[in-house]
Chains A and B, each alone.
Chain A
Amino acid sequence: MNFDVVIIGGGLSGMACGIALAERGKRCAIISTGQSALHFCSGSFDFLGYVNGFDVETPATTLAKVIPPTHPYARIGADRAIAIAREVPAFFERMGVKVNGSIDRNHYRITPLGIMKPTWLSLADFDAIPEKARLPWSKVSIQNIAGFLDFHTAFVADNLERIGTECSVSAINMPEFDHLRTSPTEMRSANIAKVFEGNDDAVRHFAAIVERNAADAHAVMLPAVFGLADSHAVEVLKQAVKLPICFIPVLPPSVPGIRTQITMRRRFEALGGTYFLGDTVTSARMENGKVAAISTRNLADDELRASHFVLATGSFFGHGLEARPDKVVETLFDADVVADGDRDRWYNHEIFAEQPYMSFGVATDATFHPTKGGKAISNLYAAGSVLSNHNPIKEASGAGVALISALHVADLITPQQQAK
């Protein structure tokens, strides 16, 4: 099979890159081993939330001053990274994904523990809270679905009370959940979302209970378990409840994340892209220091040939990197990695301290070509969390690096073209 660009990895980064390229008329294929980390996404996209443990308020003006030279943003160029970031809301909009937020000023998202974390963009379901120190509402009603173990009203209330919010807590029961509750394990967010999928009556019934429970609260906080295939259920719910609704993410799987994944894949395919799900790249055929073709488990003898290849395989979780007892390797090309050779130095003994392994990744040249034996693979580009020298968790930069590097790589592949 022949493509212009083959993208290895179907997560946020691979898909953003594929969509951007497909928008510019490139014939693209994405190969994804399984579903992506968007399934665990909070519903917000971070760009740069923290520097040395302090909240970043204005990423656009701060970035150039605080970012170390090896960081992917610095390698893209701080100005260029910000410029790309400004394009992202419109990029999402074209897919049909509405987001709140701006690169000029971070807003806050409420975590499942009721903690405020700085972030860049939030899906439209989630409110962009402007301040860390207080909510826009002085009194909120936190409501869970009875028997749903992956959302904890007591923790949300505890932390919101600390910033002066008056909280009331209630649990909602509806006959629609009884069936689900029969299973000891399957009362999960996505299965709850399925109850409301295409069942507006159930959503309105739910809304009525929410309103009754809310009493005199100024806003309602609910677990983010609405709108799986599209945001219809969210819209119906928001319309039916007169109060503002603030969704809070829950334990995996993430319903808004899955919806984003589905929407992005739909957009990619609508632009003519081919998405191979559940397939794994098994080998690459090199010619003159370039990638000529790759083979996958499912497509076997039918190689995928392309002029450009993108490595968006992720970090350890995505299996872009693999830790062996004696070393860290990039799994597909055995490209050079930035990683400590001594296992004893991969970890900090405190789990929530900065973990060195988080910054491990593939080594690239200035134009994001992974190197092998110090030599750049000139038609291969790396994007997303497979990149080295950033700590997505400590910096709150995971989604930002994924998106910005993916769009930057798309620019590198199509230097003359603008998005349609």
Chain B
Amino acid sequence: MKTNGESQFDVIVVGGGATGAGTARDCAMRGLKVLLVERHDFASGATGRNHGLLHSGARYAVTDRESAEECIKENMILRRIAAHCVEENDGLFITLPEDDLAYQAKFVEACNAAGIRAEIIDPALARRMEPSVNPELIGAVRVPDGSVDPFRLATANVIDAKLHGAEVLTMHELTGFVIENGRMKGVKLLDHRSKLTKTIYSKLVVNAAGIWGHNIAKMAGVSVNMFPAKGALLVFGHRVNNMVINRCRKPANADILVPGDLICVIGTTSSRIPFEECDNMLVTREEVDLLLAEGEKLAPSLRNTRILRAYAGVRPLVASDSDPTGRSISRGIVLLDHETRDGLAGFITITGGKLMTYRLMAEWCTDLVCRKLNIDRKCSTADIPLPGSRKEEAPAKKYYDIHAAAAPADKKSYTTAAKQQELAEKSAEWRHGSMSAAIATDDDASRALVCECEEVTVAEVEYAIRDLHIDNLVNLRRRTRVGMGTCQGELCACRAAGQLAKAGRCARDAQDNLTHFLQERWKGMYPVTWGDALSEIQFTSWIYEGVYGLPVADNK
């Protein structure tokens, strides 16, 4: 990249969460020259640390009509443009004996007013539809909730941005701005890999860094007063439920259980934390106990289900009053034009909102960007599916046809190989949708499983390393679910590290990565480690520290 002070880009988007990735995509699709900058990895902040709930908006219907309406609109759009990231599971809002059944009527009315299809169903029917639900429920409402995988969603936006010419830098942290005469001219970045700093110039800079946008704005000399509200969640070892289960009452702690891929998630808590904690959030024992106690009320079988992890995200809420819980605040979208607001031209902050409305946030932000650049292009992100959800690219079951035609005599071996390939493709297709066509599973070695819990093949890992911005095993996990299953890396971590080395990455880095990856897994495990989970981690330690000899120090 040139560093001669010329604007190399129309816009630099800071933050690789869903909003930043969505904004980069929208800008690129409208023909702008875009750079997306992320200090760690895509979806490594709040985007990847929530329920993964495809909100119908019902949760907000009673308290926040505007959010509810935005949600249901975006919900329908995401089903269309991000089909491979979405599971159309539907949701239940259940009333338990301890809840006020009168709330149900108010709730349904509010949903209908917001355009959310909410249908009161018989509790007996609810029990049949979702056998894990608390059988003592006295009321149930069915709503179009679903699940969305935020990692895939953010990544698909990045991929599409790149397909439209955007450039992407991960592991690049913003360290400062170039501001000349009240105008934003560019950003200073620290490359975490090379430890070098660089300056990159652009016409506009968009601050889409979520809660971290607070300090980024401060760096630019403007003030965006956000406050971090921590929400803790627990991941269970398998899918207990297939429909989202919510409590039909005013939003409170731990009242949503969301199935997603092979697991389910209960959350959240809500507590205000200092900014210093945003980068290292610990889930406390009290939070764990609360989540378990409340979660069991939604689905009693959670009591006997292995807990894989505890994690927490930070809601980037723009402070408007002093409510410490942050719950009465609208999660409305906040778009700040710092030129008009603060007299700093060329700087825009997009914040507030929520995962569900990332696309709308990106649209508003890009509309503003285009106005600033005098470009008259309409937003098309609601109409054009994301990579992975494009039917025309759907992986043809080519293998069958090729082999059936080419080697009819060898039908038997073809059948076995084709069957194995079909199995290998199933999970990959679930994760990457139509992009999985790029995953070459046509020989035995490529179909070998690196991660057995989540069925991640050698081919999928190779594809991710090649095409999906992988620097380390944690990135690989976000793209493929390696190490997200029951064993939390016990078998797959070393195999995956081996694949990194095999792909030409430095063997020493791959080993350091392995240590870091296991540490990262452990961080989410220890707050919930008892029972089988403790047996598992003792086994993992036995293997990696005892037999393998991690962490690697120099052999001297």
Q: Is A303 an interface residue (CB 8 A)?
A: no
Q: Which residue of A lies closest to B448 (CB)?
A: A184
With contact pairs A147-B448, A347-B526 given, residues A113 and B550 touching in the complex (Cβ less than 8 Å)? yes
With contact pairs A162-B554, A184-B424 given, residues A344 and B538 touching in the complex (Cβ less than 8 Å)? no
Q: Are A158 and B535 in touch, CB under 8 angstroms?
A: no
Cα A249 to Cα B494 with chains together (Å): 13
Q: Within B504-556, which residues are at the interface with A (CB < 8 Å)?
A: 507-508, 510-511, 515, 518-519, 521-523, 526, 529-531, 534-535, 538-539, 541-543, 545-552, 554-556
Cα A347 to Cα B523 with chains together (Å): 11
**Distance to closest chain B CB from A50 (angstroms):** 11
Q: Is A355 an interface residue (CB 8 A)?
A: yes
Q: Are B548 and A113 in touch, CB under 8 angstroms?
A: yes
Cα A275 to Cα B405 with chains together (Å): 56
* Interface membership of chain A positions 324-353, coded 1 if the CB is closer than 8 angstroms to chain B and 0 otherwise: 110000000000000000011011011110
With contact pairs A40-B547, A251-B543 given, residues A351 and B522 touching in the complex (Cβ less than 8 Å)? yes
Q: Within A137-162, which residues are at the interface with B (CB < 8 Å)?
A: 146-147, 149-150, 152, 154-155, 157-160, 162
Cα A116 to Cα B553 with chains together (Å): 10
* Among B285, B511, B522, B555, contact of A344 (Cβ-Cβ < 8 Å): B285
Q: Are A117 and B549 in touch, CB under 8 angstroms?
A: yes
Q: Is B450 an interface residue (CB 8 A)?
A: yes
Query: Which 3 pairs, one residue from A and one from B, show the smallest C-beta to C-beta distance?
Result: A115-B549, A351-B522, A111-B549
Residue numbers in B under 8 Å from A182 (CB-CB):
416-417, 420, 444
9-residue interface stretch from A96-104, A229-237, A311-319? A311-319
* Among B447, B511, B551, contact of A158 (Cβ-Cβ < 8 Å): B511
Cα A163 to Cα B549 with chains together (Å): 16
Q: Are A323 and B531 in touch, CB under 8 angstroms?
A: yes
Q: Is B179 an interface residue (CB 8 A)?
A: no
Q: Are B552 and A159 in touch, CB under 8 angstroms?
A: yes
* Among B449, B511, B546, B555, contact of A163 (Cβ-Cβ < 8 Å): B555
Q: Is A207 an interface residue (CB 8 A)?
A: no
Q: Are A357 and B445 in touch, CB under 8 angstroms?
A: no
Q: Is A393 an interface residue (CB 8 A)?
A: yes
**Distance to closest chain B CB from A143 (angstroms):** 15
Cα A228 to Cα B556 with chains together (Å): 34
* Among A150, A183, A347, contact of B529 (Cβ-Cβ < 8 Å): A347
Residue numbers in B under 8 Å from A323 (CB-CB):
529-531, 534
27 of the cross-chain contacts (CB-CB < 8 Å) are A111-B549, A115-B552, A116-B555, A132-B555, A147-B445, A152-B494, A155-B497, A155-B501, A158-B508, A159-B555, A162-B554, A163-B555, A182-B420, A184-B423, A251-B491, A251-B495, A252-B491, A316-B534, A316-B535, A317-B538, A346-B529, A349-B523, A350-B519, A352-B515, A358-B541, A392-B546, A393-B546
Q: Within A164-203, which residues are at the interface with B (CB < 8 Å)?
A: 178, 181-185, 187
Q: Are A152 and B498 in touch, CB under 8 angstroms?
A: yes
Q: Is B327 an interface residue (CB 8 A)?
A: no
Range class of the A interface residue count: 35 or more
Q: Which residue of A lies closest to B502 (CB)?
A: A154
Cα A324 to Cα B304 with chains together (Å): 12
With contact pairs A111-B549, A352-B519 given, residues A184 and B457 touching in the complex (Cβ less than 8 Å)? yes
Cα A3 to Cα B457 with chains together (Å): 51
**Supplied contacts A252-B543, A396-B546, 19 more A-B pairs, CB within 8 Å:** A42-B546, A112-B494, A112-B548, A113-B552, A115-B548, A132-B555, A133-B555, A149-B450, A150-B495, A154-B502, A155-B497, A157-B507, A159-B555, A160-B555, A182-B444, A316-B538, A317-B535, A352-B518, A392-B542
Cα A184 to Cα B428 with chains together (Å): 14
Residue numbers in B under 8 Å from A111 (CB-CB):
547-549
Residue numbers in A under 8 Å from B515 (CB-CB):
352
Q: Within B443-482, which residues are at the interface with A (CB < 8 Å)?
A: 444-445, 447-450, 452, 457-458
Q: Are A149 and B542 in touch, CB under 8 angstroms?
A: no
* Among B416, B547, B554, contact of A42 (Cβ-Cβ < 8 Å): B547
Q: Within B397-456, which residues are at the interface with A (CB < 8 Å)?
A: 416-417, 420, 423-424, 444-445, 447-450, 452
Q: Are B546 and A149 in touch, CB under 8 angstroms?
A: no
**Distance to closest chain B CB from A388 (angstroms):** 15
Q: Is A223 an interface residue (CB 8 A)?
A: no
With contact pairs A147-B445, A181-B445, A352-B519 given, residues A154 and B531 touching in the complex (Cβ less than 8 Å)? no
* Interface membership of chain A positions 20-53, coded 1 if the CB is closer than 8 angstroms to chain B and 0 otherwise: 0000000000000000010011100000000000
Q: Is A398 an interface residue (CB 8 A)?
A: yes
